[in-house]
Each structure stands twice: as C-alpha cells, then as structure tokens.
Amino acid sequence: MIELEKNYTPVIWVTGATKGIGLATANAFAAIGCKIILSGRNKNQLEVNARRIIDQGGFALPLVCDVTSEKNVRSAYATINKKVGDVDVLVNNAGVSIFESFEKTSVKEFDTIVATNLRGFFLCTKVVIPAMLKHKKGHIINIHSVSATTLFYDSSAYSAAKAGALALSRCLRLEVRKKGVRVVDVLPGAVETDMWNKSVRKKYHSKMMQPEDVADAIVSIYCQPQRLTTDEIVLRPVEGDL
Ligand SMILES: NC(=O)c1ccc[n+]([C@@H]2O[C@H](COP(=O)([O-])OP(=O)(O)OC[C@H]3O[C@@H](n4cnc5c(N)ncnc54)[C@H](OP(=O)(O)O)[C@@H]3O)[C@@H](O)[C@H]2O)c1
C-alpha cells in the first residue's frame, strides 16, 4: 500500500478525465487518497465520474475545460485555485487522434490534433508552472505516445503533435528540474480505449493494454521516493506494437 505524506492531501488535475486513460488515472489517484480535479468537455460524464469518487469517500471536482481554449484553461485553473488550492500534479492527458494518410488529412483535422495534443499541453502546463516554481515542488505528467518516436502509417498529424509535445516537455524538464519541479513523459503503446474503433478493439483486445495499466504506472511514478524522478517511461503491450 502506497502511503502519502502525513497531514497533506495532494491535488491532482487530470485533463481528458471523461473516459479512457484520463478517467483511470483520476480513479487511481483517488484510490490513494488524493483530491482529484477532473476536466474535459463532456460535463455530464465528468459529473458522473466525480460522483463515483465522492461516493467512495474521496474528493473530486468536475470542471468543463476545452484544452484548446486559453480562456477555458485559465478559468479552470482560477476555479481550482479558489475551490481547492495549488495543483501538486498536472496530468496532461487530453488528446485526440485520427488514423488517416497524410494525403487525406484535412487542414481542419491537423489543426485540431495539434491544438489538443500540443497546444493544449502547453496551455495547461503554463498555468500551473508559476506556483510550482514558487513552491519548488510539483509534477507535470504528460501522456504522449510511442507515436512520438516510432513511425506508423496513417499517423502523421498525430505523430507530429506528440513528437512536438515530447520535445516541449524535454525542454521544460531541463529548465525546471533544478527548481524542484518533476516533468515525467509517459509514452504508451496501444491501450484499449475509444481512441480505437470497435473493429480494431475486437481484433486486438487480447494484445492491447488497459487504461488502468497506464494509470497504475503513473501513480507508482508519483509515489517514488523524493530522491529520484522518472524522466521518461515507455509502456508497450508484451507483444509490441499492433
Ligand atoms: N489509446 C491509446 O492507444 C493511446 C496510446 C498512446 C497514447 N494515448 C494518449 O492517451 C491520452 C488519452 O487517450 P485515450 O486513449 O484515453 O482516449 P479517449 O478514451 O478517447 O479519451 C480522450 C480524452 O481526451 C479528452 N479530450 C479530447 N479533446 C479534448 C479537448 N479539446 N479538451 C479537453 N479534453 C479533451 C476527452 O474528453 P471530452 O471528449 O469529454 O473532452 C477524453 O476524456 C491521449 O493523449 C492519447 O493521445 C493513447
């Protein structure tokens, strides 16, 4: 059983917490007694997810926040500050993907993918960083993808956004690691979530990781002894990529 610091309840903000890896991560942090901020665009689902945590004796605050909107992100952070306080851990998880050739990828699709996976990560990180630097502590945990470093067909826009986010994150780590802030890059392979269509999930079910697998890895990284940090972790199904 993992134990948190006595008399202190960490505040964890998980973006994209309506379902999939984000929801599993929110639940996993709630299970070790953290206060959870769940954000995403689907208000009803966020409320259902938060209610489940609260019913089990935990603390959860559902917040509508589209990570592509600077205004939304700033206002979500102001609400968190007002209602809960500083954020100890930001899990940048919100993401979208399309499986499409370069030729068929529209400008609109490209913009959405970059705005969510790269710009959204920048915006959310930007609002939490000043307080983390001031207090000389905090975790920024970023959910990238093996697509950031491995080439796949029909994945150019997604890979570009994830590779950009990974580069941004590595630079950020360089700048903040001596100031007490830990930046952790998580690169998962295939996880069985709504990101994949039904036929892929059916065909590869036994070969895919589950959202809880990624969530458990994230929580165990957070709970590592203070003297160390995990810079980067790659999680793949045992048999490798699909
Ligand atoms: N599944 C995989 O195989 C896999 C592998 C590697 C990495 N990843 C990464 O893991 C992360 C989570 O994906 P998932 O597999 O759990 O997919 P998912 O089940 O489709 O969940 C995606 C989450 O992102 C949220 N989201 C999307 N656009 C958003 C926006 N503009 N603002 C705020 N939230 C937004 C969605 O919530 P709303 O729709 O309510 O906003 C949802 O909660 C993504 O960054 C993805 O790239 C996934």
Mutate to test the pocket of ligand 1, among 193, 218, 235 (most ligand atoms within 8 A of CB): 193
Q: Name residues whose C-beta falls within 8 Å of residue 11's C-beta, 6 or more positions apart in sequence.
A: 34, 35, 37, 80, 84, 85, 86, 87, 88, 89
Residue 213 inside a domain? The answer is: yes
In CATH, what number is assigned to the domain containing residue 23?
3.40.50.720
Residue 5 inside a domain? The answer is: no
Residue 47 inside a domain? The answer is: yes
Say what the pLDDT of residue 2 is. 56
Say what the pLDDT of residue 3 is. 58
Provide the domain count of the chain.
1
Say what the pLDDT of residue 1 is. 45
Range of the domain at 223: 11-235
For residue 239 the two structure tokens come to: 């048999």
Residue 240 inside a domain? The answer is: no
Q: Which of 8, 77, 153, 158 is catalytic?
A: 158
Residue 48 inside a domain? The answer is: yes
Distance CA 15, CA 45 (A): 13
Residue 1 inside a domain? The answer is: no
Residue 145 inside a domain? The answer is: yes
pLDDT digits (tens, 9 = 90+) for 46-86: 999 999 999 999 999 999 999 999 999 999 999 999 999 99
Counting as low any pLDDT under 70, the low residues of the chain are: 1-4
Question: How close is the Cα of 178 to the center of ligand 1, in Å?
Answer: 31
Say what the pLDDT of residue 81 is. 97
Residue 108 inside a domain? The answer is: yes
Say what the pLDDT of residue 168 is. 98
pLDDT averaged over every residue in the chain:
97
Known catalytic residue at 158: yes
Say what the pLDDT of residue 6 is. 75
The binding-site residues of ligand 1, defined as CB within 6 angstroms of any ligand atom, are 15-22, 40-42, 66-68, 93-97, 116, 143, 145, 188, 190-191, 193-195, 211
Question: How close is the Cα of 14 to the center of ligand 1, in Å?
Answer: 11
Q: Give the C-alpha distances (Å, rounded to integers) separating 233 from 93, 127, 182, 199, 217.
A: 15, 24, 13, 29, 9
Selection from 71, 5, 63, 59 nearest residue 38 by Cα? 63
For residue 229 the two structure tokens come to: 């940090």
Say what the pLDDT of residue 5 is. 73
Residue with tokens 């295939």: 190
**AA identity, residue 58:** G
Question: How close is the Cα of 9 to the center of ligand 1, in Å?
Answer: 26
